[in-house]
Structure 1
Amino acid sequence: MDFDDLMSLRRYVSIAHHVPGRLRLKFNPAVRNDPRFDALRNAEAPFPGVQATRINTMARSMVIEYDARIPQKEIAGLFNGDEEAARDSFDRITEIVLS
């Protein structure tokens, strides 16, 4: 999964719960019709710093456990706001993870 795949799927996503190091996303049912959803289901990490993911297709949710050094606002920035802001968050997350 790359940045473009993540951006194309975020229109189906809302943040259900978020604490440092753990994020729960809820998916709109329409996501099942998007072919990139399979890429997300099979991806090891939808963004840098991800340590584990679990998808519950019945609940239409995904739990992402990530490096707690990454600020919550950067994670939220991937899913909220415009694509340019999301790209900035993605780049900052990558910087944090690689440092």
Structure 2
Amino acid sequence: MIKTEDIINIASYFTIIAHTPGRLRVRVNPKIKSESENISIEDIESLPKKIDGIKKIKINKIIASVTITYDANVFKPQVWEDLINKQNLEEITQIINNLAKEVM
């Protein structure tokens, strides 16, 4: 089961390729494989079922990218920018916890 801390940690492996309100595409650092004991691809792909506002997550292993489709009214675009840049993490943790559909 994925936790908020895991989301913040995993985000540290991402760099933004493209971002428009409602759609974020990130490059994934190959070093993320070191996290495989803590989080799986299935955990990441299941986030839309667990957190309101995340509509879809598409993982492309071949080009090492992740595309996240989200509701820009629920997750302001700046929240994603801050998450990737490790800024305002306490606020982001509160937002994620408030939007969690189940105990994570």
TM bin (shorter chain): 0.7 to 0.9
Matching residue of 2:91? 88
Contact kept in structure 1, 2:23 and 2:69, CA below 8 Å: yes
Richer in helix (by share): 1
Bigger relative contact order, structure 1 or 2, given CA contacts below 8 A and separation 6+? 2
Contact kept in structure 2, 1:49 and 1:93, CA below 8 Å: no
Q: TM-score, normalised by structure 2?
A: 0.74
Q: What are the within-5 Å matches in structure 2 for residues 1-99 of structure 1?
A: 1-35=2-36, 36-38=38-40, 41-43=41-43, 44-45=46-47, 48-69=52-73, 70-82=75-87, 85-92=88-95
Per-residue Cα deviation, 1:41-83 (whole angstroms, up to 9, x for no partner): 213117541010000011110000001212211121111134x
For structure 2, the 5+ residue unaligned runs are none
Decide whether aligned partners of structure 1 residues 3 and 78 sit closer, same or farther in structure 2, where only a CA change above 3 A counts.
same
Distance 1:3 1:92 in 2: 10
For structure 1, the 5+ residue unaligned runs are none
Q: CA RMSD of the aligned region, Å?
A: 2.3
Identity of aligned residues (%): 25
Distance 1:6 1:20 in 2: 20
Q: TM-score, normalised by structure 1?
A: 0.77
Per-residue Cα deviation, 1:8-29 (whole angstroms, up to 9, x for no partner): 2222111111101000111111
